[in-house]
Amino acid sequence: MYLLDANVFIEAKNRYYAFDIAPGFWEWLAQAVTEGKVQSVEAVHQEVLGRSDELVPWITANRSMFKNVDDPTVEVLRELSLWATREYSFAASREFIGSTADYFLVGYACAHGLTLVTHEKPSKGSMKKIKIPDACAEFDVPVISTFEMLRSEGVQLRY
């Protein structure tokens, strides 16, 4: 099962799978939500709802995919917080823990054994910002791109 970062939705809509160009992507994604193959977290829902574009109605129609933090996630978030404050600068750990959906994505994926889908790249040793792939590597959470997820699921968007 997959846990999707906000950039999966935003990049798809803005670039390669715009609603008017590739409706099949959005149809597959909605079906995958129904089948329980893809999820995200409430923090991503809130991030995307803050936008004012055609992504908002799709996100609203697929509200069931956005999960709240639960007890297993809280346990992982404690460990994630300790790791972030120990390994990164105060500013980087504060930003990661306090103001991004990334923290909740990594925690939820780890707690539930999910593969995190994002377009973020590792920071390559920078201590200025905690990137999803860096935190996932520390907590043994698999990370893939949207394209890898689609290939893994055998999705073919045909015209």
Domain hosting 110: range is 71-144
Residue 158 maps to a domain: no
Inter-helix orientation angle 71-87/102-112, to 10°: 120
**pLDDT tens-digit series, residues 49-76:** 888 889 999 999 999 999 999 999 999 9
pTM surpassing 0.85?
yes
| Model confidence band, residue 126 (pLDDT cutoffs 50, 70, 90) | confident
78 and 38 co-located in one domain: no
Number of domains present in the structure of the chain: 2
Distance CA 146, CA 152 (A): 10
86 and 120 co-located in one domain: yes
Residue 159 maps to a domain: no
**pLDDT tens-digit series, residues 78-114:** 999 999 999 999 999 999 998 779 999 999 999 999 9
105 and 80 co-located in one domain: yes
99 and 130 co-located in one domain: yes
Distance CA 159, CA 34 (A): 23
41 and 96 co-located in one domain: no
Handedness of CA 115, 118, 120, 121 (dihedral sign): positive
